[in-house]
A and B are shown apart, each in its own frame.
Chain A
Amino acid sequence: KAGVTQTPRYLIKTRGQQVTLSCSPISGHRSVSWYQQTPGQGLQFLFEYFSETQRNKGNFPGRFSGRQFSNSRSEMNVSTLELGDSALYLCASRTPRGGGQETQYFGPGTRLLVL
């Protein structure tokens, strides 16, 4: 079974631009979560989508948004990029069975550099 895939793997943008990142979950997984990893803040939860609906959201500004398609693929968008948005963006998928104890499987991440 193929793992979680993320595209692109690397991206360079300039301040003020916007960016869209894509995530394809493991086949059969309906839940997709996004995380931001920075050296100073570690791994921080952005949001989770399940069945095309945002189910949970972290403490990030409205410039960060996402969506999920009917095939469970997900995109996240960051508008008006700031230098501090430079980070590794990780996507994780799972198949919820209740109880929240299912393992999340992470993709390799998209490394975003904002200049």
Chain B
Amino acid sequence: DQQVKQNSPSLSVQEGRISILNCDYTNSMFDYFLWYKKYPAEGPTFLISISSIKDKNEDGRFTVFLNKSAKHLSLHIVPSQPGDSAVYFCAATPSLIKAAGNKLTFGGGTRVLVKP
């Protein structure tokens, strides 16, 4: 049972255009969401996060939107750059439940290719 899903395994976008990555979740206990970026042969790098009390969080070219009623979040990258080519993972955690500890539930990832 995949609690976090990224339905698009890959995405190709032209440099300068917007990249939109989507993520859906089923567990209503999730209240904190993160996006990680991963290059080959490296560990995931934290990109941006959002708490369930917000519906938008912005950091430079990266913006995450959260729609709690739809259990959906998206990551927008504007403008996309060739260096953004990587695999992007969304992750979720029920942060208010102490027993959850450090456990993140990840989606399957979306491979983004930004063409020059």
Q: Size band of the B side of the interface?
A: 20 to 34
Give min CB distance, A16 to chain B, whole Å: 28
Chain B residues, Cβ within 8 Å of A90: 43-44
Taken together as a complex, chains A and B put the C-alpha atoms of A50 and B102 apart, in Å, by 9
Which residues 61-115 of A sit at the B interface, judged by CB distance below 8 A?
Answer: 90-92, 94, 96, 99-101, 103-109
Question: Looking at the complex, which one of A4, A94, A108, A109 makes contact with B102 (CB distance below 8 Å)?
Answer: A94
9 contacts between A and B (CB under 8 A): A31-B101, A42-B107, A42-B108, A43-B91, A45-B104, A48-B103, A90-B44, A100-B93, A109-B43
Chain A contact residues: helix, strand, loop or mixed: strand
In the assembled complex, B106 has its CB within 8 A of some CB on chain A: yes
Give min CB distance, B30 to chain A, whole Å: 11
